[in-house]
């Protein structure tokens, strides 16, 4: 697991950065500034970028040898947006493995909502596993824009969606999308159109990710998400296992009715008290 780097910020936070309740939340949404509990962690991450990036003739670069991570439900690697299955969109890479591993659980839980309006939802098959791709930069990668708040989403930023443009930004990673626990970690993402910079990337490792293990540990603040992956030395057909609806529902859903999608998995007793500050 030497290649699977954890995020620079190793803290666990329990303040939802996207909580818009109340008057202060209203103004945060309008003027797009981050919640107070997240200001210092974001500043520290931006300072980390200053140490990580190299400068050449006034331009910033991620140095050759940097590892980038991509979580997906596709094998082999498929560029573009994983949530919308659109290869023409920018590709998201984690600057650490943490965010990309947890993103696989989001993609798995997202499957049921993509099929919500289909009449044959109970006959659909669902991915059992996901994949983590590890790329190494073979050249210095230019960084054209650094987004400095969590509110700035690169897929909605006109600069970041341009061709031949690389954006870097802090990003909160979530432990799935259904019944998300109040557990947040701060990672970083790098985004660009893969085909524009593919000659500067080398795929060095591919891992199989077990989202069920992630789901079962989503409330465990001490869980290392790297424990959910195994390296693929040679691809096996079993890695492409599919789950029938009944088994998928057993793993990830509370609701027993296919027409009422209650978010979340099996109810679990929480073993820690909810906190509003960093622990």
- State the pLDDT at residue 118: 63
CB neighbour burial string for 49-71, b if at least 16 within 10 angstroms, e if fewer: beebbeeeeeebbbeeebbbbbb
pLDDT at 162: 98
Task: Give the list of residues 6+ apart from residue 242 with CB closer than 8 angstroms, or none.
Answer: 125, 126, 127, 128
What is the distance between the alpha carbons of residues 167 and 6, in angstroms, rounded to a whole number? 20
Burial (0-12, 13-18, 19+ Cβ within 10 Å), 22: exposed
Per-domain residue ranges of the chain: 22-252
| Res 80: pLDDT | 97
Residue 119, pLDDT score: 65
CA angle 82-77-3, nearest 5°?
Answer: 100
For residue 182, count other CB atoms closer than 10 A to its CB. Answer: 17
Parts of the chain with a pLDDT under 50: 23, 25-28, 256-279
Q: What is the pLDDT of residue 82?
A: 92
What SS3 class is residue 17? Answer: coil
Tokens found for residue 143:
């960084």
């Amino acid at each position: 697991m030497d290649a699977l780097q954890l995020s620079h910020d190793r803290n666990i936070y329990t303040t939802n950065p996207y909580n818009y309740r109340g008057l202060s939340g209203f103004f945060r949404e309008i003027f797009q500034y981050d919640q107070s509990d997240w200001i210092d962690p974001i500043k520290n991450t931006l300072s980390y970028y200053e140490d990580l990036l190299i400068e050449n003739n006034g331009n910033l670069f991620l140095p050759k040898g940097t590892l980038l991570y991509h979580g997906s439900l596709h094998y082999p690697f498929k560029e573009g947006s994983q949530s919308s299955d659109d290869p023409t969109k920018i590709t998201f890479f984690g600057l650490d493995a943490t965010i990309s591993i947890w993103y696989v659980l989001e993609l798995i839980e997202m499957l049921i909502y993509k099929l919500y309006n289909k009449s044959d939802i109970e006959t659909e098959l669902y991915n059992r596993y996901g994949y983590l791709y590890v790329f190494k930069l073979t050249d210095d990668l230019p960084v054209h824009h650094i987004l400095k708040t969590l509110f700035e989403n690169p897929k909605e930023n006109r600069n970041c969606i341009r061709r031949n443009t690389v954006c870097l930004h802090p990003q909160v990673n979530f432990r799935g999308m259904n019944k998300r626990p109040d557990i947040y970690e701060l990672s970083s993402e790098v985004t660009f159109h893969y085909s524009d910079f593919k000659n500067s990337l080398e795929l060095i490792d591919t891992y199989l990710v077990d989202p069920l293990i992630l789901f079962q540990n989503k409330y465990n603040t001490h869980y290392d998400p790297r424990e959910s992956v195994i390296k693929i030395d040679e691809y096996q057909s079993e890695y492409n296992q599919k789950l029938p609806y009944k088994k998928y529902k057993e793993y990830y859903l509370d609701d027993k009715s296919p027409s009422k999608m209650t978010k979340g998995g099996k109810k679990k007793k929480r073993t820690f008290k909810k906190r509003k500050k960093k622990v």
